[in-house]
Each structure stands twice: as structure tokens, then as C-alpha cells.
């Protein structure tokens, strides 16, 4: 399956403003790209790439005052299958975890493990460990938190979500991540593209949050917002929580003038053929 992904975002700036962006596909998934994954900015200013502490490919620039347009379109090859379910994936003892997993057991900006630990053990202490426990956490969050864009807040934490019982996809994710960490399961926040492939059209495209849990020696995707395995998750960034995975960060005031995200399956034969041919030529 070929998926077209991209974005077209415009900011209005009153003064020159530094930006950082997490708008590339994860470097670990670069092999699935079937086109260049490059940021185009208008007006043209120098863009510098770097890899952050979590392995995400990032960009930085300084935009002049006025309108800044940031856009990209590329293609990603996907197997067309829902995220796999591994019911036998075990939960590791903390002492057996790789060193790099340990930070994903700790509290972070939006995931107050210490404040929700007792709640988590009350809710999930009797559940079967491993994959069934993470799924029980996703089930609880999905069933008990009301989704709505009107509930979005940049300062809302997992503790807030637990008490308010309302939020958007990042809030569902923060709460599930916090519960997993409280149960000694490494969990990291993830963000990326998720189109409406294989499901009814829901709404205009947006970047979407999910999380990864470390079970059976691997990181596995879980999505408490939708709570069903979905087709075509294309991740762009992972980290401790949304503070590490902000798609755009401006170091100064700005007005978001327009915002468009693309995540569509490509079905036109001529487009598939063109992309396939271009990729073959690049591989020579």
C-alpha cells in the first residue's frame, strides 16, 4: 500500500522568530519512504537538520517577520495491515530492562506517575501482566475519557485528564502512558500521521498521538483514543510525552493562519506507477 502524507502550515509572525520542527518521518522508518522527505519553507530561509536525544529527525530555522509557510508531501510504503496484536508479549522485570528503557518508567512533564501510581495499581493490579495489562489500560482510558477538540489544553496533564475525564488524543495517550509506567511497563509518547484507511471518514486530517509500550523485547503501538488496531500509522516522533514531541515549537509569539495535514491511501494506478518508477531510479 502506498500512502501520501504531508502538511501545509502557515504562521503569521510579528518579528523574526526561531522555530524547531518535528515534521519528518522517524529515521528508523526512512526505508519505507518512496519520495524525498524534505521541508519546504516560504520565504526561503536556511533550514538545519539535527537528531534529538530521542532519535527524532528535527529541523530548525529563523523565520523573518510576516507569513511563514511550511509544507511537504511525500509517499510511504505500508504493508496495509493493522498494527499487530501480540497477546503473548511479556512484561519484563525492571531489572531486566535495557538501560534506555528506564527513563520511560519515570514521571515527566505531562505524565505524573507519582500522583497516579496508587490509582493505577487499584485499577490494574489484578490484571494479567504483559500485553493484556496494557490493553486493559487502553480499554479503561477509552471507556472513561470523553473525546472532544473543545477539551484541548496545552497545559493539561494526565492527572487532570483522570479527574476531568475529557480530552483529545494527546490526553488519552498521556493518561495511558502514565498508568503503564506506574505498573512498571516502559511507555513512550508517539505522534505521527493516521489517515482514515479501512475506517469510515471521521474528520479533517490532523497529526495524531498514540504510545508505544515495551513488551517482549520490542516497542509496540497502542492507541487508547481509537482502541482498535489501525492501518497506516506513520510515526514522526517519540519521547517522554508531548513536550518532547511537539510538531512545531516557536521561540516567540505567532498566529497560526492555516493548517492542513494529508494522510491518504494512493489508489490511482498512474500515481502508484510514477512513484514506483521514481523510487527505482533513485535506487540505481
Indicate the class that CATH gives domain 2-80+246-283.
mainly beta
Residue boundaries of the structural domains of the chain: 2-80+246-283, 94-244
Contact predicate 110/243, CB 8 Å: yes
pLDDT confidence of residue 273: 53
User: Nearest to residue 190, comparing CAs of 167, 159, 223, 161?
Assistant: 223
pLDDT confidence of residue 206: 86
Report pTM: 0.92
User: Nearest to residue 188, comparing CAs of 143, 112, 245?
Assistant: 245
Q: Does domain 94-244 have CATH number 3.10.620.30?
A: yes
120 by DSSP, 3-state: which?
helix
Per-residue pLDDT of the chain (284 residues; tens, 9 = 90+): 999 999 999 999 999 999 999 999 999 999 999 999 999 999 999 999 999 999 999 999 999 999 999 999 999 999 999 999 999 999 999 999 999 999 999 999 999 999 999 999 999 999 999 999 999 999 999 999 999 999 999 999 999 999 999 999 999 999 999 999 999 999 999 999 998 898 877 767 889 999 999 999 999 999 999 999 999 999 999 999 999 999 999 999 999 999 999 999 998 654 555 555 555 554 55
| Cβ neighbours, 10 Å, residue 91 | 21
pLDDT confidence of residue 96: 98
pLDDT confidence of residue 280: 54
Contact predicate 18/248, CB 8 Å: no
pLDDT confidence of residue 282: 47
Amino acid at each position: 500500500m502506498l500512502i501520501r502524507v504531508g502538511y501545509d502550515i502557515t504562521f503569521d509572525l510579528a518579528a523574526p522568530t526561531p522555530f524547531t520542527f518535528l515534521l519528518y518521518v522517524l529515521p528508523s522508518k526512512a526505508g519505507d519512504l518512496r519520495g524525498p522527505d524534505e521541508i519546504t519553507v516560504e520565504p526561503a530561509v536556511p533550514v538545519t537538520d539535527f537528531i534529538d536525544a530521542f532519535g527524532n529527525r528535527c529541523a530548525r530555522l529563523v523565520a523573518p517577520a510576516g507569513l511563514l509557510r511550511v509544507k511537504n508531501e511525500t509517499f510511504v510504503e505500508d504493508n496495509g495491515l493493522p498494527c499487530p496484536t501480540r497477546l503473548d508479549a511479556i512484561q519484563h522485570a525492571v531489572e531486566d530492562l535495557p538501560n534506555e528503557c528506564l527513563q520511560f518508567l519515570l514521571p515527566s512533564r505531562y505524565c505524573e506517575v507519582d500522583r497516579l501510581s496508587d490509582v493505577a495499581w487499584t485499577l490494574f493490579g489484578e490484571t494479567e501482566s504483559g500485553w493484556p495489562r496494557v490493553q486493559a489500560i487502553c480499554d479503561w482510558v477509552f471507556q472513561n475519557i470523553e473525546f472532544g477538540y473543545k477539551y484541548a489544553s496545552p497545559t493539561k496533564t494526565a492527572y487532570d485528564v483522570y479527574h476531568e475525564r475529557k480530552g483529545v488524543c494527546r490526553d488519552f495517550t498521556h493518561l495511558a502512558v502514565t498508568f503503564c509506567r506506574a505498573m512498571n511497563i516502559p511507555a513512550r509518547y508517539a505522534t505521527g500521521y493516521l489517515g482514515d484507511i479501512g475506517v469510515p471518514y471521521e474528520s479533517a486530517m490532523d497529526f495524531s498521538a498514540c504510545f508505544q509500550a515495551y513488551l517482549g523485547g520490542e516497542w509496540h503501538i497502542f492507541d487508547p483514543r481509537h482502541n482498535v488496531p489501525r492501518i497506516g500509522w506513520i510515526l514522526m516522533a517519540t519521547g517522554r510525552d508531548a513536550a518532547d514531541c511537539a510538531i512545531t515549537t516557536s521561540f516567540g509569539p505567532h498566529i497560526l493562519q492555516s493548517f492542513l495535514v494529508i494522510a491518504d491511501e494512493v489508489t490511482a494506478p498512474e500515481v502508484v506507477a510514477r512513484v514506483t518508477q521514481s523510487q527505482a531510479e533513485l535506487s540505481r
